[in-house]
Amino acid sequence: MMTLQMKKQQGLSLIEFMIAGLIGLILILGLTQIFVSNRQAFDTTAASADVQETGRMATEILAKAIRNADYWGCADQSRIFNNLNDGNGIDPDVLGFGSGLDGFDNNADAADTVADGTDVIVIRGTRGSSAIQLSGPMNNSSAVMDVTSVSGLNEDDIVAVTDCRGGDIFQVTALPSGNKIQHNTGGSVVPGNGKNSGPCAGGSNSANCLSQLYDTGASVLVPYSERYFVGTGVSGEPALFLRRGVLSGTNIGSTQSIELIDGVEDIQILYGEDTNGDGTVNAYRTAATVSDLNDVLSVRASLLVRSRQANVLDNAQTLTFNGAAVDGSDLRLRRVYTMTSTIRNRM
C-alpha cells in the first residue's frame, strides 16, 4: 500500500505575495470609501440640522419681538409723551421713543458693527404685567405718585405710566418711603425730567410735570428700545445680534450688544403697510419706501442662514437671496427662512 506524503509549505512566492497585497489594498480602499462616504453623509446631516435649528430659533426670536412691538399699555404710541430732558444728551435711538417701529435698509456704514448690505429693525414699546399701579389719584401732574408697590424699581430707572387716555415716559428721581415714585427734574440723575415746562394739569407750574393727571389704577410699565441686526460674532461667524438701550443703572442712554445666535448671514426686511386705512396690509415695502411706519401692521423678514462648518458639500450650492446669487465657494450649506409676523398691538 502506497502512502502519500504532503510536501510542507516553504513560503510564499512573489506572485502569491503580490496577489495577497492587491486583495488587501482593494479591501482597504473599499473600507476607506465607505468611511469617507459615511463621514460626508454625517457632515451634511449635521450641517442640515445646524441650519434648521439656527433658522428656527432666529425666526422665533424675531417673530416674538415684532408681535410685541409698540405696546404702551392701553394707549397707543401717538399719545405717549416723552418727559425725559432733551438737554442732557438724549440719544433718540435709545431714549427718543418717537415710534414703536423703525428700520434701515442695506447698511453701508463700514465703521459700524452691522454687516454691510443687511437690514436693521428697531422695536420699541413697554413691558410689564401692570403689577405696579397707582394706588390713588394725582392731585396735580407734578405730584409724587402713590403706587401699590415699588418692587423691582430703582432710583434713576426709566419707566412709563399709562392709562387709556395716554402715557408719560419719565425717570425715577427718588423712591420715598411708603411706596411712592418721585419724578423731579432730577439734579442727581441723567437725563432727568423736565421736557414739559407747563402749564401743568392740576394747577402746578413745575418743570417736572407730566402731560396729564393719572388716576387710581394707571399702570407703571418698563419701556425698552431694541435693535436687531447681523454682525460678526465672537467665533468670527456672522450672527444675529440684539442691541438694547440701557434704561437703568449708571450708563443710562448707552447700548448693550448681545449675540443671540450665530450662522445668520443676512437679513432682509419688508414692512406690510396699510395704505388706505382699512386695517389690512396693502403692500410690503422696504423701510426706505414705506410712506408711514406708523401704518405698518406686519413685518416680513427673510434670513439667509449658513452652516458653521465649511466644505460639507461636494459642489457649490446654487442659491439666490434678495435677488442676487449667493457665493457658495466655501461649500457651506445655506437655506433661506422667511417669516411674517403681525404687530398685534396695531390690529
Q: Does residue 199 have a cis peptide bond before it, meaning omega lies within 30 degrees of 0? A: yes
Q: What is the mean pLDDT of residues 281-300?
A: 96
pLDDT of 9 reads 58
| Statement: residue 199 has pLDDT above 70 | no
Per-residue confidence band for 91, with pLDDT thresholds at 50, 70 and 90: confident
Tens digits of per-residue pLDDT, 138-190? 988 888 999 999 998 999 999 999 999 999 999 999 999 999 999 887 667 88
pLDDT of 8 reads 61
Q: Calculate the average pLDDT of the chain.
A: 88
pLDDT of 206 reads 60
Handedness of CA 80, 85, 87, 88 (dihedral sign): negative
pLDDT of 22 reads 78
pLDDT of 6 reads 60
Per-residue confidence band for 304, with pLDDT thresholds at 50, 70 and 90: very high
What is the enclosing helix (H) or strand (E) of 43? helix 14-67
Beta bridge partners of 169: 82, 160
| Statement: residue 1 has pLDDT above 60 | no
pLDDT of 153 reads 93
Tens digits of per-residue pLDDT, 222-245? 999 999 999 999 999 999 999 999
Is the CB of residue 270 less than 8 Å from the CB of residue 180? no
| Statement: residue 119 has pLDDT above 90 | yes
Check residues 21 and 335 and name the one with the higher pLDDT: 335
pLDDT of 14 reads 72
Per-residue confidence band for 221, with pLDDT thresholds at 50, 70 and 90: very high
| Statement: residue 35 has pLDDT above 70 | no
Q: Which residues contact 236 (CB under 8 A, 6 or more apart)?
A: none
pLDDT of 90 reads 75
DSSP string, 194-247: ----SPPTTS---TT--SS---TT-EEEEEEEEEEEEEE-TTSSEEEEEEEE--
Q: 261: left (phi > 0), else alpha (psi -120 to 50), else beta?
A: beta
